């Protein structure tokens, strides 16, 4: 696992397999220029399973080449470039998007219609974070919007806003024997699904609120 917070100090050549032969999780806090530099993407392609990046126009075309990625966290603003990248990563199982503002309103319904088109290639997606983290799932249209995204057959866990506790939480999408939407259920212990645990990065000892 490697998490880069200071890009000027970081040397892309350090990602070569001879230096980190077992690298599976990689995160970049920095944005702007491509942190991979002139590194041949094939040097790390087959090893990475988790990647956290900023929604940088320079970076995303490279991310699209990483067909080994199973978990992706993208911070920054949604863009058409990001949409094109997701269409090229059908193998994704866990995805979190930053700064997305789907709300439980008619405008939120319209926005979801656009997002759904983007997500359709992600038939193996099981976890979806960020997209609904500002949406109160208990509001009148909240569950309707979650039902829309349940068209993804493997999707089981979604991050939403929980007004009762004043923070985001995760829901399980229930399905019937035919795989169709059958309601939602709040996950009491989110440690196994929360995005901060996807990478395997050690972040110190923290207390998770009940």
Residue 132 φ then ψ, to 5°: -110, 15
Name the one residue in this structure whose structure tokens are 């068209």: 151
Over the stretch 28-73, which tens digit does the pLDDT of each residue have? 665 555 555 544 555 555 667 888 877 665 666 667 677 888 998 8
- Of the chain, the end-to-end C-alpha distance in Å amounts to 28
Q: Is residue 184 part of a domain?
A: yes
> Average pLDDT of the chain?
77
Q: Is residue 54 part of a domain?
A: yes
- Shared domain for 33 and 61, answered yes or no, is yes
The structural domain count of the chain equals: 2
Over the stretch 120-174, which tens digit does the pLDDT of each residue have? 889 999 999 988 988 999 988 999 999 999 999 999 999 999 888 888 899 999 9
Residue 10 pLDDT > 90? no
Q: Is residue 209 part of a domain?
A: no
Contact 85, 61 (CB under 8 A): yes
- Shared domain for 66 and 144, answered yes or no, is no
- Shared domain for 16 and 56, answered yes or no, is yes
Q: Which residue has the higher pLDDT, 203 or 125?
A: 125
- Shared domain for 81 and 130, answered yes or no, is no
Contact 142, 104 (CB under 8 A): yes
Domain that holds residue 157: 98-198
CB atoms within 10 A of CB 177: 6
């Amino acid at each position: 696992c490697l998490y880069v917070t200071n890009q000027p100090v970081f040397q892309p050549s350090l990602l070569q397999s001879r230096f980190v032969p077992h690298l599976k999780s990689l995160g970049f806090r920095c944005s702007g220029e491509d942190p991979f530099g002139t590194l041949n993407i094939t040097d790390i392609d087959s090893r990475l399973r988790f990647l956290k990046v900023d929604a940088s126009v320079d970076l995303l075309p490279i991310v699209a080449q990483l067909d080994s990625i199973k978990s992706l966290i993208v911070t920054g603003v949604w863009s058409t470039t990001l949409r094109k990248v997701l269409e090229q990563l059908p193998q994704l199982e866990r995805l979190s998007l930053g700064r997305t503002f789907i709300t439980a309103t008619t405008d939120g319904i319209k926005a979801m219609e656009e997002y759904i088109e983007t997500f359709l290639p992600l038939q193996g997606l099981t976890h979806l974070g960020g997209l609904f983290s500002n949406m109160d799932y208990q509001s009148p249209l909240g569950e309707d919007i979650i039902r829309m995204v349940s068209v993804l057959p493997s999707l089981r866990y979604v991050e939403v806003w929980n007004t009762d506790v004043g923070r985001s939480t995760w829901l399980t999408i229930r399905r019937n024997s035919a795989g169709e939407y059958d309601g939602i259920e709040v996950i009491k212990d989110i440690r196994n699904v929360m995005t901060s645990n996807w990478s395997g990065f050690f972040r110190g000892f923290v207390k998770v609120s009940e």
